[in-house]
Amino acid sequence: MNRKTAIVTGGSSGIGKATAKLMAGVGYNVILTYNSNRQLAETVVKKILDEEGEAAAFCYDAISSSDADMLTAFAMERYGKIDVLINNAGASHRALVTQTTDEDWKRALDINLSGMFYLSRAAARDMIKRKQGAIVNISSICGVSGAAMETAYSAAKAGVIGFTKALAKELAPSSVSVNCLAPGAVETKMLGFLSPREREELCSMIPMGRFGTPDEVARAVLFLAESSYITGQILGVDGGWLGE
C-alpha cells in the first residue's frame, strides 16, 4: 500500500491521540510526538499497530527549532515524505494578566505559536519540493474571541490564526493547503480545572448544550487534511458557540 504520511504533534492524548488513531485507520503512516510521557505515546502506537496500521512515536520539544528539524528528518528517513502536518501540541495558561509573569507569557507563545512556526517551516521544504501537502493548525475558540484569565493563551492562539492565513497564501502556488481549526470546549484534560457548576454554566453557553469530543475534532482535522482546494480557512468546531 502506498500510504501517505502524517505528523501529529501532541499525539499521545486528547485531540492529538484521536487524530493519530483516525488517520492511521484510514491508511496514513502516522508519526505522533510526545514531550515527556513515552508510555502514553507507545500505548497509542501499539493500538494502531494492533489494528494493522503504521505508526511511530517521536520525543519532541515543541519549543525547539532543532527538534523540528530532527522530527522532519526522522519522517523523511522512515517514510520518505511528509504529506500532512497536524500542529496540535499546545498548553494553556490560566491566570489574571496582573499575575502572568514574563516567563509565563514567553512559554505560552513558544509552545502554542513558535513551535508551530518551526515545524511548519521544516515540513514545508519537502511539501514545496513535491508540490503537494497539507498543514492543519489547531487554534482555539480563545484565539477567535479571547478569554478572560487566558490572555497569553488567547494571544498565542490568535497568532496561530494569523500565521495560518499568511502561510496559506505563501504555499498555495506550491499546491500546499494550510488551514486551521478553532475548537470550543472539548472533553480533554485541559478543561480538568472546571468544577461541576462551571461545566454546567459553560454548557449553557453552547447551543448544542454539550462539550465536543476529541473524535469530533479529529474528523474535522481529517476533512481539512484531505481538502486540496480549501486553504486559508478557520473552521470552528464549537457546537455553535460562535456560530452567530
**Which amino acids are annotated catalytic?**
153
Three-state secondary-structure class, residue 211: coil
Contacts of 198 (CB under 8 A, 6+ apart): none
Instruction: Kindly tell me the sign of the dihedral angle through the C-alpha atoms of 72, 73, 78, 81.
Output: positive
> Cβ(18)–Cβ(48) under 8 Å?
no
- Contact present, 26 and 222 (Cβ < 8 Å): yes
- The residue type of 65 is S
* Cα 214 from Cα 11, distance rounded (Å): 12
Sign of torsion over alpha carbons 179, 5, 216, 200: negative
Strand, coil or helix: 11: coil
How much of the chain is in helix, strand and coil states, percent to nearest 5? 50, 15, 30
d(CA 74, CA 146): 36
Rounded-to-integer distance, Cα 160 and Cα 156, Å = 6
